Amino acid sequence: MSKSKVISTDDILATLCHSVTGVLSSASGNEISYSAMVQKITRTCMRPDIGCFVLFDGGFTGLVVTNFTAQAAMEIYGDYMRSMGMPEDEIAHSHLSDDVSNVMGELMNQIVGDFTSKVREQLHTSITQNQPKMMAINKQVQISVDTTMDRPQARRVTFTTRNQNIFYLELAMDKTEFIKLHDFDIVEAVDPDDIIENEAKQKADKEKAKQPKQDDSDDDFMAELGL
C-alpha cells in the first residue's frame, strides 16, 4: 500500500508565500523574496507603517496579516506605478497617501485571488475571503479570528524587496492536515490574458501567411546581367 501524502499548515503557508512573491514580482518588476526560516508566533498583529488583514473561511479558517514598512510599501508601489506608465509627478511620495493604500490593497486582492485559486487546484477545496483593505497605522493593533479554532497556529514570514526593504506576512489558522488518498492531475488555472495574447498572435501569423511572397526572379535576372 502506498503512503498517503500529507499537506500541513506549513505547506499551505508556503503556497501563500509563492502567491505573494509571484504577484508582487510580476506586477512591480521588483524581485521579491522570502526567508526560508519561518517564525512561530503566539498572536497576529497589524504593525506600523501600513498593513492589511484578510479573513478566510470555507475549507479551512484563517487570518492573513501583511505589515509593510513605509520604505517597502513605497518601493513596491512606485515600481508598480512606473510599470503601468504613470508619470513621475503623478506618483505619491508618502505612504500616508490614499493612492498608496488603494494600490497596495489592490495588489493584496490579487495575491488573495491567486492563493484561493491555488488552494482550489492543489487541495480540491474552496475558501472565501473578505475584501482586503490596506490602511496606514502608527500603533500596533492585535488581530484575532473570532471562530472555534481548536489548535490555532500562527506563523510569521519575512519578505525582502530588491532594495533590501522588509515587510512581513503573518498567518493564523487551525492546525490542519490534508491527506492525499490517491493521485490526481492538478489543472492549472487559465489566464484570460494569455488566451487573448495567443489568439492575437495566431491571427497575426495567419495574416502574414496569406500575404503573397515577393517575386525575386526579376532581381536575380538583373543581378546576373550585372545591373
End-to-end CA distance of the chain: 81
What is the spatial distance between Cα 218 and Cα 224, in angstroms, rounded to a whole number? 10
Three-state DSSP class for residue 59: coil
* Cα–Cα distance list, 110 to 20, 142, 150, 217 (Å): 9, 24, 30, 57
In sequence order, what are the beta bridge partners of 68? 50, 167
The residues, ordered by sequence, that sit 6+ positions from 197 with a Cβ below 8 Å of its Cβ are none
Return the half-sphere exposure (C-beta side, CA atoms, 13 A cut-off) of residue 197. Answer: 5
DSSP E strand stretches across the chain: 5-8, 33-34, 39-40, 44-46, 50-58, 62-68, 127-129, 135-136, 141-143, 152-160, 166-174, 177-180
Contact in structure between 9 and 176 (CB atoms under 8 Å): yes
Q: pLDDT per position in the chain (227 positions), as tens?
A: 445 688 888 999 999 999 999 999 999 999 999 999 999 998 888 888 899 999 888 888 889 999 999 999 999 999 999 999 999 999 999 999 999 999 999 999 999 999 999 998 888 888 888 888 888 888 887 776 555 566 778 999 999 999 999 999 999 988 888 888 776 555 555 454 554 566 567 666 766 776 665 555 556 655 665 65
Distance CA 70, CA 50 (A): 7
Reference 171, options 191, 149, 186; nearest CA is 149
Predicted pLDDT at 65: 93
Helical H segments across 86-216, by residue range: 98-123, 192-210
* pTM for this predicted structure: 0.76
Return the ∠ at Cα 112 (arms to 16 and 123), rounded to 5°. 55
Q: Max alpha carbon distance in the chain (Å)?
A: 92
In 100-125, which positions are buried (b, 16+ CB within 10 angstroms) versus exposed (e)?
bbebbbebbbbbbebbbebbbebbee
